[in-house]
Structure 1
């Protein structure tokens, strides 16, 4: 089983629950409709990876504020990359088919370490820097559905286990992963840096 790190603990998530279409600008970026309720999809434990892979395919990065769950609540926060096979996803969407081939493949979920967070989620924001250039930025004020709303919606139809991960959606600025490029994800609470992690795409 694949793991993530919460400060000094090793955690085995049973699943990763992801919110799609949660930032208006990203919805427009991909030409999608604004949803009336949260769009939810899953990644399995096998999607977890410590490495960011380009794989020579049409794989896009999507930086996200992510949470570890404990006792049914948001317990810790980290930076997550939801990797997407964009051309495959576009084809599946046109056919009205599920997204798993584009979203749940091995290595499609990459995370920083997680740190305990009991502050106000409304203060959280993210930045993704690629080769020293700011590629993505966003935060909970820009989300259609805030983290607590997402959690309540998911819990209305699905059981969540301790160590499961919630990914809250991506702001605009997504693009293809470039082999050899440096990716640096940061999570802030207001002006305070909580998490920073860097990867070199292989």
Structure 2
């Protein structure tokens, strides 16, 4: 089983629960409709990776930077930066056919994470994603259609979050293709305080 690091402790998430279409600007950039209900999909533990790949099986991968929350006793106790990697072309085909997204979203290595840092609450959380020293994505809980408390309330209606599970809270505008040699740096802040930072070199 794959692990993530919370402060200096290794944690094994049983699953990753992802919220889609949580920022209006991101919905608009992909030409999607604003959903009537919160969009939820999952990634298994096997999706946790450490290497940022630019393609898989001959298909380019696209990046989505997100605030990731680690859950304990049903509450977020730590936050980190997450990269949700997507086979966008395949995802589009599956959506057009009304089929599930797992092949495009839940493959091995489809979720990369920084170290997680302990938090007392989710107020003032924000993210930044820099690619080749250019700021590509930024946003925070104040821009979410479903902020963390609402995400957890809705998830509790149909699923149980085990200790160590990760919730990925959606991506702001600025997503794009991963190119070989690109340098990615993701940051999560709480107010002006840097909580987590991670860099990857796309291969």
Name the structure 2 match of 1:173: 174
How big is the shift at 1:8? 0.8
How big is the shift at 1:10? 0.5
The answer to whether the aligner puts 1:109 opposite 2:111 as a matched pair is: yes
C-alpha offsets along residues 125-178 of structure 1, whole Å, 9 cap, x if unaligned?
A: 100000000000011000000011001111110011000000000000000111
Name the structure 2 match of 1:186: 187
Name the structure 1 match of 2:72: 70
In the alignment, structure 2 segments of 5+ residues that lack a partner are: none
Q: Give 3-state SS (helix, strand or coil) of 1:127's partner.
A: strand
C-alpha offsets along residues 13-59 of structure 1, whole Å, 9 cap, x if unaligned?
A: 00000000000000001111111221000000000001111125221
How high is the TM-score relative to the length of structure 1? 0.97
Q: Give 3-state SS (helix, strand or coil) of 1:152's partner.
A: helix
Return the alpha-carbon distance in structure 2 between the equivalents of residues 181 and 166 of structure 1. Answer: 26
The answer to whether the aligner puts 1:129 opposite 2:151 as a matched pair is: no
Decide which moves more: 96-105 or 48-57.
48-57
Return the alpha-carbon distance in structure 2 between the equivalents of residues 95 and 31 of structure 1. Answer: 17
The answer to whether the aligner puts 1:47 opposite 2:11 as a matched pair is: no
How big is the shift at 1:179? 1.1
Paired positions, count: 201
How big is the shift at 1:191? 1.3
Name the structure 2 match of 1:89: 91
Q: Give 3-state SS (helix, strand or coil) of 1:184's partner.
A: strand
Return the alpha-carbon distance in structure 1 between the equivalents of residues 104 and 126 of structure 2. Answer: 26
Q: Give 3-state SS (helix, strand or coil) of 1:171's partner.
A: coil
In the alignment, structure 1 segments of 5+ residues that lack a partner are: none
Q: Give 3-state SS (helix, strand or coil) of 2:34's partner.
A: coil
CA RMSD for the aligned pairs?
Answer: 0.8
- 1:155-166, aligned counterparts within 5 Å? 155-166=156-167
